[in-house]
Amino acid sequence: MEKREIAIIGGGPAGLAASIEAARAGAHVLLIDENASPGGQLFKQIHKFFGSKAHSAGIRGIDIGKKLLKETEEAGVEVWLNSSVIGLYEGNNLSVVRSTAEGKKIVTVQADKILICTGGQENAINFEGWTIPGVMGAGCAQTMVNVNRVLPGKRVLMIGSGNVGLIVSYQLMQAGADVVAIVEAADHIGGYGVHAAKVRRAGVPFYLRHTIVRAVAGENQEVCAAVIGQLDDQWNIIPGTEKTIDVDTVCIAAGLRPLAKIAQMYGVKHDFIPEMGGWMPMHDENMETSVCGVYVAGDTAGVEEANTAMDEGRLAGIAMAEALGYIPGEKAEQRKNDIRKSLESLRLGPFGERRLKAKERIIARGVAE
Amino acid sequence: MNDNILQNGYPSWEELKKFNRIPSHERFAKGPVAVIECIQAIPCNPCEGACKFGAICVGEPIINLPQLEEEKCTGCGMCVAQCSGLAIFVVDKTYSETQATVSFPHEYLPLPEKGQTVTAVNRAGEPVCEAVVVRVVNPERNDHTPVVTVAIPKEFADAVRGMVRLGMEKPADHSCCKDYVYKENDPDDLIVCRCEEVTVGDIRKAIAEGATSITGVKRRTRAGMGLCQGRTCSKIVTKMLSDATGKRGIDIPLDTARPPMKPVTMKILGGDDDV
One-character DSSP codes across B70-110: TTT-----HHHHH-TT--EEEEETTSSSSEEEEEEE---SS
Please indicate whether, in this complex, the C-beta atoms of B42 and A84 are within 8 angstroms of each other. Answer: no
Considering only CB atoms, A206 lies closest to which of B8, B144, B259, namely B8
Q: Which of A75-89, A136-150, B157-171 has the lowest mean pLDDT?
A: B157-171
State whether B43 and A349 contact (CB < 8 Å).
Answer: yes
Q: How far is CA A162 from CA A166, A184, A255, A304, in A?
A: 6, 9, 8, 12
Burial of B185 by CB count in 10 Å (0-12 exposed, 13-18 middle, 19+ buried)? exposed
Q: What is the rounded CA–CA span in Å between residue B239 and residue A185?
A: 16
Beta-strand pair B99-105/B117-122: unpaired
CA distance B60 to B62: 5
Cβ B168–A352 below 8 Å, yes or no?
Answer: no
Residue B79 contacts A, CB cutoff 8 Å: no
Percentage of chain A exceeding pLDDT 90: 95
Asked if B194 lies within 8 A of A131 by C-beta distance, the reply is yes
Closest CB from A1, A124, A246 relative to B274: A1
pLDDT of residue B166: 95
pLDDT tens sequence across B183-216: 788 899 999 999 999 999 999 999 999 999 999 9
Among the residue ranges A291-295, A312-316, B1-5, the one predicted with the least confidence is B1-5
Cβ–Cβ below 8 Å for A196 and B168: no
Rounded Cα gap, residues A273 and B250, in angstroms: 8
Instruction: Tell me the per-residue pLDDT of A15-48, one tens digit each, with 9 for 90 and over.
Output: 999 999 999 999 999 999 999 999 999 999 999 9
Q: Strand, coil or helix: what is B193?
A: strand
pLDDT at residue A53 in the model: 81
The pLDDT of residue A223 is: 94
Amino acid B171 reads P
Quote the pLDDT of residue B275.
44
> How large a percentage of chain A has pLDDT more than 70?
100
Cα gap A293→A323, rounded to integer Å = 9
Instruction: Return residues 160-199 of B near A (CB < 8 Å).
Output: 161-162, 164-165, 167-168, 171-178, 180, 182, 185, 187, 190-192, 194
Residue B77's pLDDT band (cuts 50, 70, 90): very high
How would you classify the pairing of strands A249-252 and A155-159? parallel
Please list every residue in chain A whose beta carbon sits closer than 8 Å to the beta carbon of residue B60.
345
Q: Taking CA A190 as the corner, what is the angle to CA A283 and CA B15, rounded to the nearest 5 degrees?
A: 125
**Cβ–Cβ gap B235/A84 under 8 Å:** no
Identify from A126, A228, A259 which residue to disrupt to test chain B contact, counting B C-beta atoms within 10 A and taking the largest count: A126
Q: What's the confidence (pLDDT) of residue B171? A: 58
Q: Where do the domains of chain B lie, and which CATH numbers do they carry?
A: 4-163 (no CATH), 187-265 (1.10.10.1100)
pLDDT bracket for residue B1 (50, 70, 90): very low
Q: Which among B1, B63, B172 has CB closest to A349?
A: B63
pLDDT, mean over chain B? 93
Q: Count of A–B CB contacts within 8 Å?
A: 239
Contact check, Cβ <8 Å, A272/B249: yes
Instruction: Report how far residue B233's alpha carbon sits from residue B237's, in angstroms, rounded to the nearest whole number.
Output: 6
B135 touches chain A (CB under 8 A): no
Contact A157, A183 (CB under 8 A): yes
Asked if the Cβ–Cβ distance from B44 to A50 is below 8 Å, we say yes
The residues pairing with A207 across neighbouring beta strands, listed in sequence order, are A183
Using the beta-carbon criterion (under 8 Å), do B85 and A194 form an inter-chain contact? yes
Based on the number of CB atoms within 10 Å of its own CB, is B82 exposed (0-12), middle (13-18) or buried (19 or more)?
Answer: buried
Give residue B212's Cα distance to chain centre. 38
Domains defined for chain A, CATH in brackets: 2-121+256-365 (3.50.50.60), 124-252 (3.50.50.60)
pTM: 0.95
The DSSP code for A237 is B
In this structure, are strands B33-36 and A206-208 parallel, antiparallel, or unpaired? unpaired
The confidence score (pLDDT) of residue B84 equals: 96
What is the rounded distance in angstroms from the CA atom of residue A112 to the CA atom of residue A296? Answer: 15
pLDDT reading at B134 higher than 50: yes
Please give the average per-residue pLDDT across A261-280, as a whole number.
96
Q: What is the pLDDT of residue B270?
A: 82
Predicted local distance difference test score (pLDDT) of residue A220? 86
pLDDT given at position A178: 95
**Which chain B residues contact residue A348 at CB under 8 A?**
41, 43, 61-63
List all residues 6 or more positions away from A123 whose beta carbon is below 8 Å from its beta carbon.
A252, A254, A255, A256, A257, B235
Q: Does any CB of chain A come closer than 8 Å to the CB of residue B39? A: yes
Cβ contact A86–B249 (<8 Å): no
Q: Residues near B153 by Cβ (< 8 Å), separated by ≥ 6?
A: B98, B99, B100, B129
Do A192 and B42 make contact, defined as CB atoms within 8 angstroms? yes
Q: What is the ipTM of this complex?
A: 0.94
Tell me which chain B residues have a C-beta less than 8 angstroms from the C-beta of A307: 43
At B2, is the pLDDT very low, low, confident or very high (cuts 50, 70, 90)? low
The stretch B149-156 carries a mean pLDDT of 98
Q: pLDDT band for position B76 (50/70/90)?
A: very high
d(CA A326, CA B149): 54
Sequence-separated (6 or more) residues with CB below 8 Å from residue B240? B192, B200, B203, B204, B207
